[in-house]
């Protein structure tokens, strides 16, 4: 594994300031093909129930593709952890129902964990099947890549199930490079240099 180290680190204000902030407090409006309005915004600590609602709509196959193993529910402790980011090391953007929606849910999540030692970030992405094929995953990934770049991250990477052709095509479109994972032939590691 290549490790990128920088001798000159970006100023702290560039590394950690407002990288999770959407352009406005409410985020950006996104319209789906069926005319539904969603908000692209940073995840909030009070999104726990909305995140669990969105998770409950994922099929077992979607869960396996995202988590690389089966989960039957998103427990309160895990959902709380996923919504309460460490601002120094985590970024997460969501596509959520707009404010005022009864029983709102989160329909897609893109997140990154930044390793401060290597200045690389591991990403994860999930989009509900009902919203796939509309460029929403691409939109979220571009936002995540931009936020990582703004923080001085040198590389963003992820492990993808080799059978997850949709994610691998998305990574190809974003110019990620593919590598095999020597200890697990069911996985493909994708990497994008952000220099």
pLDDT at 103: 92
Tens digits of pLDDT across the chain (195 residues): 444 444 444 444 344 444 444 445 568 999 998 899 999 999 999 999 999 998 888 877 777 666 555 566 777 898 999 999 999 999 999 999 998 899 999 999 999 999 989 999 999 999 998 898 899 999 999 999 999 999 999 999 999 988 889 999 999 999 999 998 888 888 899 999 997
Q: Fold for 19-193, please state it.
A: Aminopeptidase (3.40.630)
pLDDT at 125: 93
Contacts of 2 (CB under 8 A, 6+ apart): 155
Task: Please choose, from the candidates 54, 113, 49, 59, the residue with its C-alpha nearest in 3D space to the C-alpha of residue 83.
Answer: 49
Q: Please, are residues 149 and 194 in contact by the beta-carbon 8 Å criterion? A: yes
Q: Please, are residues 143 and 177 in contact by the beta-carbon 8 Å criterion? A: no
Listed by start position, the domains of the chain span 19-193
pLDDT at 83: 95
Q: Hey, which residues does 179 pair with through a beta bridge?
A: 189
In order of 17, 82, 89, the CA distances from 85 in angstroms are 14, 7, 8
What is the C-alpha to C-alpha distance for residues 178 and 157, in angstroms, rounded to an integer? 10
pLDDT at 174: 97
pLDDT at 104: 94
């Amino acid at each position: 594994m290549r490790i990128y180290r920088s001798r000159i680190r970006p100023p702290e204000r560039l590394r950690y300031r407002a990288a999770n902030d959407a352009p406005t407090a409410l985020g950006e409006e996104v319209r789906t093909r069926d005319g539904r309005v969603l908000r692209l915004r940073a995840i909030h600590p009070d999104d726990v129930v909305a995140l669990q609602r969105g998770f409950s709509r994922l099929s077992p196959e979607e869960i396996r593709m995202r988590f690389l193993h089966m989960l039957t529910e998103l427990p309160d402790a895990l959902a709380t952890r996923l919504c309460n980011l460490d601002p120094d090391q985590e970024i997460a953007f969501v596509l959520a129902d707009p404010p005022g929606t009864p029983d709102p849910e989160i329909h897609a999540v893109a997140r990154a964990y930044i390793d401060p030692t290597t200045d690389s970030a591991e990403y994860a992405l999930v989009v509900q099947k009902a919203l796939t094929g509309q460029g929403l995953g691409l939109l979220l990934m571009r936002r995540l890549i931009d936020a990582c770049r703004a923080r001085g991250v040198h590389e963003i990477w992820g492990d993808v199930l080799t059978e997850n052709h949709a994610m691998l095509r998305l990574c190809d479109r974003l110019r990620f490079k593919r590598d095999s994972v020597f200890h697990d032939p069911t996985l493909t590691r994708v990497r994008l240099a952000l220099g």
